[in-house]
């Protein structure tokens, strides 16, 4: 393409490719431009070629070495030229090496299509009998022919053997036909139509909190940046989102870990362990303990709450001590529900009678908690989980996509109007039936196309992971207050056969350095329907407008993801024929199912944003190599390794421990520093398409005096 005809963004990116002055930020920005409305249609093919070249280049070039701040012999950073203390010890992504230097790359199985910028079209619910008034409404049967592009998992809900630790499931069948139930198809199609139209969410977990790590300091503090005092409470009767619970109040003191270690020989074994019963012991005096017991006695009246093993041995670690009082207060359901919402992915997600918990006061200056209304939250640790409630974030960012069941305007968007509605909020639109009726999707006589496959464990991404769900172009300013990325999309895989990402051997569970036997509790074996198999689906449509039917056609002209195991690449399907017959048995249309062949008579009912969303969605359905759930290797000692997704997130996508802003860089030494081209730091990795460090093994970690952890691989 001639340079003079290029769009300025394409021209600048072409120059960056030519001069090899690329980085992840430039590529990400250009990708957004390519998918947006500003990129000229006649230049998109050239732009895609540029983007492919750029990705190859950025994965092979070494970053330019930069001048790092001078370090004093004692490990602290010298003053920078402007006289201010340099904050580089906390890590700066802006001056760090690209993560492509780390090692093995892989493709993130999740992507996002942004939420709409404007309110979707809303109206009063359409009555079932609307066609008696509006004679232009269309009623009939939509017949779809659909083919599997990757194996499909449609499991019988009952395992073959309910007593077995490892569960094996057969496919859902009626005689020799394999089926996907109508309810599953309805949910998948509703989600897809919501994404393409930019509609309201069909469902929202009102108790979901977005939390990652510890971001809530409970004190004690003398500087006013945290509560002045600390408070423990003893659970007398645990509550939940439907039940009021009770907590006993009392006195709280802190006791130093060193004093406890001198008193108890096997002190570290007393710490609470995930999956085990939490046990407490009792001491006589928090300030100077001389005696302890496994139960409360006349001498030992203080109950000790231990925290986990500290990762930083500097400073004086303190534990909590609680002396029960006579006051028992009732705690409302919301406080318990918030605890479960914040901690559903933590080691201690369930609270039980007899457990000690920390109480967050609603005022930093409170001297004593005496009433329920003085408690803002219940926390497991003194460095608690603050986070933000998902619904609050959504209200702040784009309240117009809150589910119609909770909306208070009494109206619904177009997709809810099609699928039906049951209100949660009393001010929401009242219940009404949907005008789409689904049959089961049927793959006739395909029993011989089923194969028992032991799958890789299906792991849900942590909903609070800042780098996963948040959008921010500056890695040093990432925060829990950043906007959510949008509707979640599942990528699909180009790898088949022995390399398929759904196979246990490719993403299995490890014990030490060895892959465990495939039949584990964490995974399951399923009958998968082969790729390349044809099925049929009928949808009864009642009193649809041409606009509604056009939205339905659009949704059937893009790839579908149905069944279980979608993050592993399963359930990729394509509709290859769309036929509509009206109630008088007249054929209204018979289409190929190809998005690029949709006739103008139906396209005219769709707006440009919907068509662009469909194009973006189709681009994300392009099969990719090395589709993997993020994971890494952790060596706890020289003889044992653990391979886990949580380790990758904490290593490459962790929020900074102080300041509540930015993602942690990685400080390098030895071979890793050489691989980074001499950089002392490597950038964090928000979850873009291409990620790095899959199964990375750390050889050595060194803690410096300025509290940096230097890593070698």
Q: How confident is the model at residue 315 (pLDDT cuts 50, 70, 90)?
A: low
Of residues 691 and 65, more confidence is placed in 691
What value does the mean pLDDT take over residues 172-187? 95
What would the two tokens of residue 136 be?
């232009």
Q: Which DSSP helix (H) or strand (E) runs through 174?
A: strand 173-174
The pLDDT, as a whole number, for residue 636 is: 57
Q: Could you tell me the pTM of the whole model?
A: 0.80
- What gap in Å lies between CA 606 and CA 198, rounded to an integer? 12
Q: Is the pLDDT of residue 695 over 90?
A: no
- What gap in Å lies between CA 86 and CA 669, rounded to an integer? 20
Of residues 696 and 59, more confidence is placed in 696
Percent of the chain topping pLDDT 70 = 89
Whether the CB-CB separation of 112 and 487 falls below 8 Å is answered with yes
The pLDDT, as a whole number, for residue 25 is: 62
Q: How confident is the model at residue 40 (pLDDT cuts 50, 70, 90)?
A: confident
What value does the mean pLDDT take over residues 34-45? 80
Q: Is the pLDDT of residue 527 over 90?
A: yes
Three-class SS of residue 349?
coil
What value does the mean pLDDT take over residues 637-666? 76
Name residues whose C-beta falls within 8 Å of residue 490's C-beta, 6 or more positions apart in sequence. 109, 110, 111, 561, 566, 567
Rounded (5°) CA angle 396-397-402: 85
Q: Is the pLDDT of residue 73 over 50?
A: no
Q: What pLDDT, in 10s, does the model give residues 197-212?
A: 999 999 888 888 888 7
- What gap in Å lies between CA 384 and CA 213, rounded to an integer? 8
Of residues 134 and 103, more confidence is placed in 134
Q: How confident is the model at residue 65 (pLDDT cuts 50, 70, 90)?
A: very low
Q: What pLDDT, in 10s, does the model give residues 272-281?
A: 887 788 888 9
Nearest CA-CA partner of 699 in 678, 674, 665, 662: 674
What value does the mean pLDDT take over residues 648-656? 86
What would the two tokens of residue 68 be?
């790092």
- What gap in Å lies between CA 333 and CA 245, rounded to an integer? 7
Of residues 574 and 101, more confidence is placed in 574
Percent of the chain topping pLDDT 90 = 54
162-166, 245-249, 580-584: range with lowest mean pLDDT: 162-166
Q: How confident is the model at residue 34 (pLDDT cuts 50, 70, 90)?
A: confident
The pLDDT, as a whole number, for residue 314 is: 54
Q: Is the pLDDT of residue 63 over 70?
A: no
What value does the mean pLDDT take over residues 549-558? 97
Q: How confident is the model at residue 603 (pLDDT cuts 50, 70, 90)?
A: very high
71-85, 401-415, 595-609, 684-698: range with lowest mean pLDDT: 71-85
Whether the CB-CB separation of 319 and 306 falls below 8 Å is answered with yes
The pLDDT, as a whole number, for residue 81 is: 29
Q: Is the pLDDT of residue 472 over 70?
A: yes
Q: Is the pLDDT of residue 72 over 70?
A: no
What would the two tokens of residue 180 be?
């996907």
The pLDDT, as a whole number, for residue 60 is: 45
Q: Is the pLDDT of residue 570 over 80?
A: yes
Whether the CB-CB separation of 542 and 138 falls below 8 Å is answered with no
Q: How confident is the model at residue 706 (pLDDT cuts 50, 70, 90)?
A: low
Q: How confident is the model at residue 56 (pLDDT cuts 50, 70, 90)?
A: low
Give helix 546-556 / helix 182-197 axis angle, nearest 10°: 100
Q: How confident is the model at residue 529 (pLDDT cuts 50, 70, 90)?
A: very high
The pLDDT, as a whole number, for residue 83 is: 30
- What gap in Å lies between CA 108 and CA 489, rounded to an integer? 11
- What gap in Å lies between CA 172 and CA 180, rounded to an integer? 7
Q: Is the pLDDT of residue 640 over 70?
A: no
For 627, phi then psi, to 5°, come to -75, 115
The pLDDT, as a whole number, for residue 408 is: 87
Of residues 706 and 516, more confidence is placed in 516
The beta-strand segments (E) located in 342-439 are 356-361, 375-379, 383-384, 388-389, 412-413, 420-421, 432-433, 436-438
- Write down the H helix ranges in 376-529: 390-398, 414-419, 466-469
Residue count (the chain)? 713
What value does the mean pLDDT take over residues 248-254? 97
Three-class SS of residue 615?
helix
- What gap in Å lies between CA 507 and CA 646, rounded to an integer? 14
DSSP string, 88-141: GGG--GGGSB-GGGSS-EEE-SEEEEPPPSSPPPEEPPPPTTGGGT-TT-EEEE
DSSP string, 180-202: E-HHHHHHHHHHHHHHHHT---S
Q: Hey, which of 44-53, 157-166, 329-338, 632-641 has the most confident mean pLDDT?
A: 329-338
Alpha carbon distances (Å) from 632 to 147, 643, 701, 705: 35, 6, 15, 27
Q: How confident is the model at residue 36 (pLDDT cuts 50, 70, 90)?
A: confident
Whether the CB-CB separation of 51 and 39 falls below 8 Å is answered with no
The pLDDT, as a whole number, for residue 333 is: 95
The pLDDT, as a whole number, for residue 427 is: 86
Q: How confident is the model at residue 66 (pLDDT cuts 50, 70, 90)?
A: very low
Q: What pLDDT, in 10s, does the model give residues 477-488?
A: 988 888 999 999
Name residues whose C-beta falls within 8 Å of residue 485's C-beta, 6 or more positions apart in sequence. 112, 114, 469, 470, 471
- What gap in Å lies between CA 442 and CA 534, rounded to an integer? 9
Q: How confident is the model at residue 61 (pLDDT cuts 50, 70, 90)?
A: very low
Q: What is the mean pLDDT of the chain?
A: 86
Cα atoms in the 13 Å half-sphere on the side-chain side of 672: 26
**To 10 degrees, the CA torsion angle through 210, 211, 212, 216?**
150
């Amino acid at each position: 393409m001639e340079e003079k005809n290029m769009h300025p963004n394409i021209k600048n990116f072409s120059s960056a490719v030519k001069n090899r002055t690329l980085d992840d930020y430039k590529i990400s920005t250009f990708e957004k431009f390519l998918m947006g409305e500003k990129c000229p249609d006649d230049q998109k093919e050239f732009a895609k070629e540029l983007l492919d070249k750029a990705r190859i280049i950025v994965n092979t070039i070494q970053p330019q070495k930069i001048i790092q701040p001078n370090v004093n012999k004692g490990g602290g950073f010298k003053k920078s030229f402007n006289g201010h203390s340099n904050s580089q010890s906390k890590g700066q992504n802006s001056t760090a090496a690209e993560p492509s230097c780390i090692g093995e790359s892989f493709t993130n199985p999740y992507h996002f299509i942004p939420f709409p910028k404007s309110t979707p079209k809303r109206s009063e619910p359409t009555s079932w009998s609307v066609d008696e008034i509006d004679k232009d409404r269309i009623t009939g049967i939509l017949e779809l022919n659909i083919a599997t592009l990757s194996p499909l998992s449609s499991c019988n809900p009952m395992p073959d053997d309910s007593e077995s630790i490892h569960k094996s499931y057969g496919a859902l069948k009626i005689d020799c036909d394999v089926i996907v139930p109508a309810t599953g198809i309805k949910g998948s199609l509703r989600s897809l139509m919501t994404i393409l139209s930019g509609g309201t969410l069909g469902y929202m977990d009102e108790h979901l909190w977005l939390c990652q790590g510890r971001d809530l300091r409970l004190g004690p503090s003398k500087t006013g940046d945290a509560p002045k005092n600390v408070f423990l409470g003893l659970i007398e009767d645990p509550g939940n989102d439907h039940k009021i619970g009770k907590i006993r109040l009392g006195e709280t003191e802190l006791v130093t870990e060193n004093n406890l270690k001198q008193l108890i020989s096997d002190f570290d074994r007393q710490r609470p362990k995930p999956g085990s019963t939490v046990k407490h012991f009792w001491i006589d005096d928090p300030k100077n303990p001389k005696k302890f017991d496994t139960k409360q006695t006349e001498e030992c009246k203080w109950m000790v709450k231990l925290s986990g093993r500290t990762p930083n041995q500097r400073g004086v670690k303190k534990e909590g001590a609680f002396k029960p009082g006579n006051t028992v207060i009732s705690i409302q359901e919301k406080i318990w529900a918030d605890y479960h919402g914040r901690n559903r992915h933590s080691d201690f997600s369930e609270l039980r009678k007899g457990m000690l918990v920390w109480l967050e006061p609603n005022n930093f200056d409170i001297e004593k908690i005496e009433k329920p209304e003085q408690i803002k939250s219940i926390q497991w640790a003194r460095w608690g989980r603050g986070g933000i409630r998902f619904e609050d974030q959504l209200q702040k960012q784009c309240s117009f996509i809150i589910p119609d069941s909770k909306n208070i305007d009494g109206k619904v968007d177009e997709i809810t109007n099609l699928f039906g509605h049951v209100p949660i909020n009393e001010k929401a639109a009242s219940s009404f039936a949907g005008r789409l009726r689904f049959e089961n999707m049927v793959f006739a006589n395909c029993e011989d196309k089923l194969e028992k496959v032991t799958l890789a464990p299906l792991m849900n991404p942590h909903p609070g992971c800042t780098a996963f769900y948040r959008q921010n172009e500056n890695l040093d300013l990432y925060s829990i207050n950043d906007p959510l990325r949008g509707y979640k999309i599942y990528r699909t895989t180009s790898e088949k056969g022995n390399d398929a990402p759904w196979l246990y051997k490719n993403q299995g569970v490890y014990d030490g350095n060895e892959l465990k036997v495939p039949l584990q509790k964490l995974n399951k074996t399923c009958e998968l329907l082969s790729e390349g198999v044809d099925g049929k689906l009928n949808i009864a449509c009642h009193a649809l407008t041409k606009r509604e039917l056009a939205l339905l056609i659009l949704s059937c002209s893009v790839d579908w993801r149905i069944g279980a195991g979608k993050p592993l690449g399963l359930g990729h399907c394509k509709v290859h024929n769309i036929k509509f017959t009206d109630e008088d048995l007249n054929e209204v249309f018979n289409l190929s199912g190809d998005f690029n062949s949709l006739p103008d008579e139906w396209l005219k009912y769709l707006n440009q944003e919907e068509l662009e969303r469909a194009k973006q969605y189709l681009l994300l359905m392009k099969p990719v190599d090395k589709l993997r759930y993020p994971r890494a290797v952790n060596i706890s000692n020289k003889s044992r390794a653990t391979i886990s997704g949580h380790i990758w997130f904490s290593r490459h996508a962790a929020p900074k421990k102080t300041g509540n802003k930015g993602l942690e860089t990685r400080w390098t030494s030895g071979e890793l520093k050489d691989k980074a081209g001499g950089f002392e730091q490597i950038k964090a990795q928000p979850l873009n398409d291409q990620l790095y460090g899959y199964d990375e093994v750390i050889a050595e970690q060194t803690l410096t005096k300025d509290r940096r952890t230097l890593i070698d691989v």
